[in-house]
């Protein structure tokens, strides 16, 4: 059986691209599997790391907020914080790892062909696995404070999908920028740090003035974190915010893919 003819020509990769992506779909799994395996082989405390990081962050934030006497909403503060930290951690680590993934795998990318989007894509998946492990923490904290899940909890995967789209979109942007401008990686941690304060992790999004609320929701993590908090019964659902965040995440993902595809053609020459 003959495989169809492949034509290599300037600016012609588009046609085969999505077909190749499907053909290489297992590589997503293998690259993510490699990174997870290596990470947990090297770390002495192994898998506990995924839980320990948000746990420490939660402890610090809870202490700070107790001092500041921030409003609690319907549930104890640790639950409120935990429901925000988990998606935030996922988002932040996915964006950071996807952003650095191309440069880190330069050796691979200059030697073998496969759809390049797999590299940042699998970096996001690695963070997702970490997130899934760390949900144990949320379950634990909720049980400890006797907050029992209602039917709302089933909506959580929806908000996770939103976070995934936003993280993948921004991660692709950063990966492309990072490959092109190597000093960008110095700006990356700073931007993520800034994002922490621009997202309602330490506080409730309802604290923002009503007239600014929709503008604020352009940060897709506003919709994600509000959604997670709503799922554990902490806040009320705010449709306009959620829809703005969804639109913004979709735009981010779409433009991220477009920009990445443009950059990708010359990638091997850049690295």
Partner 1 sequence: MSGSAIQVEGLSKRYWLDQRPRERYVALRDVLAGAAKGFVRRLSGRGGSATRDEFWALRDLSFEIPRGEAVAVVGRNGAGKSTLLKILSRIVEPTAGRARIRGRVASLLEVGTGFHPELTGRENIFLNGAILGMRRAEIRRKFDDIVAFAEVERFLDTPVKRYSSGMYVRLAFAVAAFLEPEILVVDEVLAVGDATFQKKCLGKMGEVTAAEGRTVLFVSHNMSAVTQLCRKAIWLKGGKLQAVGDAATIVRDYLAHDAEQVAERTWDWPSDGPRKAPGDDRVRLLAGRVFQDAELSGVIDINRPMEIEVEFQVLRPVRDLIAGCTFTNSLGTCLFNRCDWKPNQLGPGRYRKRLRIPAQVFAEDRVSVLIQLVFYDPDVGSVLQPDILHFETVDSDAESPVRGHFKGVWPGVLRLGLPWADAERIPDPAVP
For partner 1, the binding residues (CB under 8 A) are 2-3, 5-13, 23-24, 26-27, 29-31, 33-34, 37-38, 41-42, 107-114, 177, 180-184, 187, 265-266, 268-269
193: Cβ contacts below 8 Å, ≥ 6 apart: none
Q: For 76, which DSSP code?
A: -
Tell me how far, at minimum, the Cβ of 108 lies from partner 1, in Å: 5
Residue from 85, 97, 89 nearest 36 by CA: 97
Beta carbon nearer to partner 1, 27 or 247: 27
Beta carbon nearer to partner 1, 105 or 245: 105
**Which string of b and e fits 43-72 if b means at least 16 CB within 10 Å?**
eeeeeeebbebbbebbeebbeebeeeebee
Tell me how far, at minimum, the Cβ of 176 lies from partner 1, in Å: 12
Q: What does 10-52 look like in DSSP terms, one character per residue?
A: TT-THHHHHHHHHHTHHHHHHHHHHHHHHHHHH-TTGGGHHHH
Is residue 103 within 8 Å of residue 178, measured between CB atoms?
yes
Tell me how far, at minimum, the Cβ of 41 lies from partner 1, in Å: 6
- Kind plus residue range of the DSSP H or E element containing 100: helix 77-104
Beta carbon nearer to partner 1, 38 or 158: 38
Beta carbon nearer to partner 1, 106 or 251: 106
Q: What is the CB-side half-sphere exposure of residue 20 using CA atoms within 13 A?
A: 12
Is residue 72 within 8 Å of residue 221, measured between CB atoms?
no
Tell me how far, at minimum, the Cβ of 214 lies from partner 1, in Å: 31
Beta carbon nearer to partner 1, 10 or 68: 10
Tell me how far, at minimum, the Cβ of 22 lies from partner 1, in Å: 12
Q: For 13, which DSSP code?
A: T
Beta carbon nearer to partner 1, 5 or 210: 5
Tell me how far, at minimum, the Cβ of 208 lies from partner 1, in Å: 31
């Amino acid at each position: 059986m003959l495989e169809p003819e492949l034509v290599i020509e300037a600016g012609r990769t588009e046609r085969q691209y999505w077909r190749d992506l499907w053909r290489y779909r297992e590589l997503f799994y293998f690259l993510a599997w490699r990174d997870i395996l290596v990470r947990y082989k090297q770390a002495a405390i192994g898998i506990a790391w995924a839980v320990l990081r948000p746990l420490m962050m939660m402890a610090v934030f809870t202490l700070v907020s107790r001092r500041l006497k921030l409003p609690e909403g319907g549930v104890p503060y640790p639950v409120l914080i935990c429901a925000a930290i988990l998606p935030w951690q996922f988002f932040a680590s996915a964006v950071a790892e996807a952003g650095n993934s191309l440069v880190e795998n330069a050796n691979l990318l200059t030697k073998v062909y496969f759809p390049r989007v797999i590299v940042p894509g699998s970096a996001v998946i690695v963070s997702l696995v970490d997130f899934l492990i760390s949900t144990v923490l949320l379950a634990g904290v909720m049980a400890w404070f006797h907050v029992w899940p209602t039917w709302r909890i089933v909506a959580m995967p929806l908000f996770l999908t939103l976070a995934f789209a936003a993280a993948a979109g921004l991660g692709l942007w950063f990966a492309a920028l990072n490959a092109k401008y190597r000093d960008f990686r110095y700006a990356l941690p700073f931007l993520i740090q800034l994002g922490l304060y621009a997202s309602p992790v330490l506080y409730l999004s309802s604290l923002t003035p009503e007239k600014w609320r929709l503008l604020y929701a352009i940060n897709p993590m506003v919709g994600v974190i509000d959604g997670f908090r709503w799922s554990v019964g902490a806040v009320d659902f705010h449709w306009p915010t959620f829809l703005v965040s969804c639109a913004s995440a979709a735009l981010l993902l779409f433009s991220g893919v477009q920009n990445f595809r443009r950059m990708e053609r010359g990638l091997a020459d850049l690295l």
